[in-house]
Amino acid sequence: MNPYFSTDLWKETVEDHSIWLGEPPEHSVHTIALSELHEESACREYISWFQGYIDAPDMKVAASMLAKRIGYLWTAPLVTAMTFHHQHVSFELENSFLYHPTLSAHEGGTRFPFLAVNRLQADAVTGDREVWREKVVEEMFAVQLTPLLKTLAAIAPLSMSILWENIMVRIGRLYTPDADDVGLESQHVQNDFTYLTQGAPGQVFGVKRNPFTRFTEIQNNVPVAKSKRLTCCLYYQMSEEYCNKCPKIDNEN
């Protein structure tokens, strides 16, 4: 096993994102490999089930909620490893499983899925970091995540802008420094965020142009995540409240 997976940094990431290491737990309510969501028929079947399970009003809301959850469970840990741990961690989709534990068996009782991952791989940065970073981002997005998002958009149907902003809100907060962390590798962290949201070409995301650029603004000559969303994730349609960044809040007050 790669020594990185024994470090406190990795163990903290696993704990923060409630990642189950190994095969998904037995007796789960529902389990599906993320790779299956690349196929429209399997994706439609799962989203239809998920819609009913979380009591979402339609497929659009269910697909949007799933994208946000994947951003938290799958994308955020990989971005954390890249920027803060200098590791290219690979969660191959065929070895990454969404699973829904029985409500009585999991603390918190959420009906949203959790992530189980096996056959982990990690490679530390070598050579030119910018070249290494581009390969990491391309594998993460163009090869794995973007085809999944496109399938969600097709079967819901739902705007890709909503799905991309759902991912952005999950990774943008990683680059927002806490007061105690200001100055800690701040330039290096800012460089990665600038690349992800401004410098990276569309091809590394598998699309024509960088999908994150429009969700940032420039403050003090550097990009930061916008304080309000441009799109609505539709959460309010299955809840009595809005997300903190919801663009509908001001419009409906």
Residue 103: how many other CB atoms lie within 10 Å:
11
Tokens of 109: 């009782």
Percent of the chain with pLDDT over 90: 74
Residue 240: the pLDDT is 79
Which residue in 122, 147, 115 sits closest to 136, CA to CA?
Answer: 122
What integer best gives the mean pLDDT of the chain? 90
- Using CA atoms, how far residue 113 sits from 20, 69, 176, in Å, is 11, 8, 26
Q: Model confidence at 253, in pLDDT bands (50, 70, 90)?
A: very low
**How is residue 134 written in tokens?**
């581009």
For residues 60 and 158, the answer to whether their CB atoms sit within 8 Å is yes
SS (H, E, C) 46-59: HHHHHHHHHCCCCH
- One-letter amino acid for residue 125 of the chain: V
Helix, coil or strand: residue 9: helix
Tokens representing 58? 């339609």
162: left (phi over 0), alpha (psi -120 to 50) or beta: alpha
Task: Say if residues 210 and 200 touch (Cβ distance below 8 Å).
Answer: yes
pLDDT per position as a tens digit, 148-193: 999 999 999 999 999 999 999 999 999 986 534 444 457 889 999 9
Tell me: the pLDDT tens digits for 105-148?
A: 555 578 999 999 998 999 999 889 999 999 999 999 999 999 99
Whether residue 211 has a cis bond before it, omega within 30° of 0:
no
